Structure 1
Amino acid sequence: MLSSKSLKDIIDIDMLQNIQDRLAEITGLAYNIVDFKGNPINNYSNFSKFCKKMRSTTEGMKTCCDANAHAGLEAAIRQKPYIFKCPAGLVDVATPIIVNNNYLGAVFFGQVRTNNDKLVPIKESGYYSKIYKKNPELEKDYQNTVYVDYYKIEAISSLVEIIVNQLIEKSVLDLMQEELNFNNIRFMKEREERVKLENQLKTYELKLLQSQVNYHFIFNILNTIARLALIEDAPKTQEVIYSLSELFRHTLKNIEQKVVFKEELENVIRYLEIQSIRFGKRINYNIDIDEKINKIKIPSMILQCFVENSIIHGLCPKREGGTINIKGYFCENNVIITIKDDGIGISEDKLFLILNKKYKKQFNGIGIYNANEILASYYGNEYTAKIESEVNIGTTVKLKIPLIQ
């Protein structure tokens, strides 16, 4: 049963380690994962010189682990990231890992100084003052820790929360499928129990499909932030982070449900603005939507998926860039949405493979394939996206949404 599993049983620790290392590289902060007792279960990423020295002694390690256990439990009680100061006075963030209401551990990041004077150490400890006297160099190491504005810490905590939640959803689905295939079906004696589990699996499968679309989207945006951070230090990066936080807020709030078209379009516009900052005049867009369409509902992140595909695979490889045109109109009992770009296009053979389940990972078609799966789940197979493309001319995606849902 899922409730009896440990953190290492539930989540792919190697995958989480890779994500942790990448986040540490992009944000410049320290990351590690602990169990519910506060003990590390994987390798540290980007730990500060000060914290490495603190954890090099038995007493220092125990002090840090006790603080992590306390902070992780606090985050679990709140069921959201908990920002706190460690006993040494550095700011950390604990993001809880909760499965079926069971707290299994937490992802920690931070080891920074910030401008929020209201934060107080989660636990008092005389160990640090004692060790300072023995090693005066530690005070210098402490002052050399990274300084990060508090609003950036909050923005990063939202991102980490989304990633952790999506990994949990994927891991739970994998375990449920394993139990269904190898254990549960054999022991089910009543049809009612079997139907209930199968319906639950179907719900998780739909949730996973949407999570994969969002997961793919998150890391493309992370690349954007990383590249901007390399070439400038401030205004544009701040603007991108703000827009990104709005995107995440929309995504997290509306995952696995339908939203009004106006909200979804606003989210797409935020994404286009971020890419316009990244690519400058190489990326242009036009939007022509009948205002009456704004009130209809569509699955969250579907429009975003195809717009992102146009930019990443259509316009980015084209030296001079290009334009995306998004148009929406009524046709009989349906709403028609078209996303048209003048990018490099897709060959007929490759398009077939992208849309084919068997080859979706090989040809980076996971976003398009899963978006079609979501559309089919809501409306039926006749409402999947129609894609026409011509090499060196461009690609047109046509979405059809029924008025009566």
Structure 2
Amino acid sequence: MIKIRYDYDLSEVINIDVLQSIQDKFAEATGLAAVIVDREGIPVTNCSRFTSFCKTIRYCEKGFQKCTLSDSQGGIRAKEEGKSAPYVCESGLIDMAAPIILENRFIGTILCGQIILEEDGREKTLQRVKERTKDIDIDFETIKRKFNDIEVLPKSRIVAATEFLSITANYIAEMGLANIYQQELLEESRSRRQLEEHLRTKKLQILQSQVNPHFLFNVLNSIARLSLIEGASETEDMVYALSDLLRYSLRNVEEVVKLEEELNCVKDYITIQKKRYKDKFDFDIDIDEDLLDINIPLLTIQPLLENSIIHGFKEKSTGKVKIKAEKMDNMISISVIDDGLGMKDNYTKELLSSAGKSKDKITSHITGIGINNVHQRLKHYFGEEYGLEIKSELNKGTEVKINLPGE
């Protein structure tokens, strides 16, 4: 039986790099400043989109102490209330706090905000700021100049962002709990053989748990509300495309789907990227209709396509990605081909090797699926002779080939 410790710190139960990535994406999606702190209010991540006002306040020792205390109290208050909620920080701005709870234990807080509430107005907020920062060793004229750059938002926007924040906090807690079970299982396994047997039976469940993007699907509700409030039609279009993509991954719980369904998912993803990057990429899908009925594991092509866009073209202004398929005697191959930066031969081998699993840093932003994950699932479903092949040449491009049974 697995015994769970109750004295974990936030940094013990979840990778800080993962926390930072979640926080950065949250700040990008909402346009709000964000930071994740431990139960004492000490930051465990780097700040995202912090205002120059708050950076100035936190730069001096007294200001940082007050901010740390405010962050800690904000998290404790949200924990006691059982939900995330807006509050006035020690410097007079509006912040929000969402507690991170693990096994009914408060281990940290996601904080965001640093805005002026539209209902309060700039003048009222400035007077509050003046009163709350009078004991800080910073000239008020400097504070006032920084204050003038702060964004004013309506309460409805803050409420929507708060819901978004709560979803994010819950997701982090779930990830932390999963990490704890994994760590305790490893510690209590009495023999290597016993551990390997358990991992074999759980292997597919672990892989599939990476596939279902429940977090992003829930977050879409909040993003859609924000876009509706702001009248952002292009944002709505992107949300709908992403919503279809996520519905596909959530509804199709079978081990395999038809290639036609997988390509519909790919087309939704392409729609999103065309709106995001405008004319930067040229996409071409060349697959015979006779192959649309073949079986393929859920979310096999999209992570490879995203890898081409995010990593293959990170230093190029334009690029082309082609998806094609060919049928041979006993095998069907689907290729994702780009003319991007390419990779070294030893790196392509590492991505597909068993030893390379823990080093697979190239993962889909939509699903969190890495290249090795796709490779291992193909082998699990169809056998060791199937999976991925990678051919790449520096500065010329990459071809990732998906090998499937021909019959």
Give me the TM-score of the superposition, normalised by structure 2: 0.60
Distance, in Å, in 2 between the alignment partners of 1:142 and 1:133 is 12
Is 1:384–2:391 an aligned residue pair?
no
* Displacement after TM superposition at 1:152 (Å): 9.8
Residues 79-158 of structure 1: matches in 2 within 5 Å? 82=84, 84-87=85-88, 92-99=95-102, 104-113=107-116, 131=131, 144-147=149-152, 154=160
Which of the residues 303, 306, 325 maps onto 2:304?
306
Distance, in Å, in 1 between the alignment partners of 2:197 and 2:108 is 29
Is 1:356–2:353 an aligned residue pair?
yes
What residue in structure 1 maps to residue 320 of structure 2? 322
SS in 2 for 1:2: coil
Which of the residues 158, 178, 184 maps onto 1:179?
184
SS in 2 for 1:275: helix
Q: Which runs of 5+ in 2 are unaligned?
A: 121-126, 217-230, 364-369
8 Å CA contact 1:354, 1:369 repeated in 2: yes
Question: What CA deviation, in whole Å up to 9, does each residue of 1:63-90 have, x standing for no partner?
Answer: 664443232455xx57xxx4x3213685
Distance, in Å, in 1 between the alignment partners of 2:37 and 2:170 is 13
Give, as a single letter, the amino acid of the residue that structure 2 aligns with 1:104: I
* Displacement after TM superposition at 1:10 (Å): 3.6
8 Å CA contact 1:385, 1:398 repeated in 2: yes
Among all aligned residue pairs of Structure 1 and Structure 2, give the percentage whose two residues are the same amino acid. 21
Distance, in Å, in 1 between the alignment partners of 2:64 and 2:350 is 56
Distance, in Å, in 1 between the alignment partners of 2:54 and 2:162 is 22
Is 1:165–2:171 an aligned residue pair?
yes
Question: What CA deviation, in whole Å up to 9, does each residue of 1:176-225 have, x standing for no partner?
Answer: 44433433427xxxx9xx899657854664257658x999x9xxxxxxxx
Q: Which runs of 5+ in 1 are unaligned?
A: 120-126, 218-233
Residues 4-403 of structure 1: matches in 2 within 5 Å? 4-8=6-10, 10-12=12-14, 14-15=16-17, 18-19=20-21, 22=24, 29-35=32-38, 39-40=41-42, 42=44, 45=47, 46=50, 49=53, 56=63, 65-72=72-79, 82=84, 84-87=85-88, 92-99=95-102, 104-113=107-116, 131=131, 144-147=149-152, 154=160, 161=167, 165=171, 169=175, 172=177, 174-185=179-190, 198=199, 202=203, 205-206=206-207, 210=211, 238=235, 242=239, 246=243, 249-250=246-247, 253=250, 260=257, 264-288=262-286, 298-312=296-310, 314=312, 321-327=319-325, 336=332, 338-341=334-337, 343=339, 351-359=348-356, 367-387=370-390, 392=396, 395=399, 397-400=401-404
8 Å CA contact 2:38, 2:44 repeated in 1: no
After superposition, the Cα gap between the structure-2 partners of 1:92 and 1:346, relative to the gap in structure 1 and judged at 3 Å, is same
8 Å CA contact 2:286, 2:324 repeated in 1: yes
Give, as a single letter, the amino acid of the residue that structure 2 aligns with 1:206: L
Report the count of equivalent residues: 360
8 Å CA contact 1:323, 1:342 repeated in 2: yes
8 Å CA contact 1:93, 1:110 repeated in 2: yes
Give, as a single letter, the amino acid of the residue that structure 2 aligns with 1:381: E
Distance, in Å, in 2 between the alignment partners of 1:363 and 1:134 is 50
Give me the TM-score of the superposition, normalised by structure 1: 0.60
After superposition, the Cα gap between the structure-2 partners of 1:266 and 1:130, relative to the gap in structure 1 and judged at 3 Å, is same
Distance, in Å, in 2 between the alignment partners of 1:309 and 1:326 is 16
Distance, in Å, in 2 between the alignment partners of 1:133 and 1:173 is 42
8 Å CA contact 1:289, 1:326 repeated in 2: yes
What is the root-mean-square deviation in Å for CA atoms of aligned residues?
A: 5.7
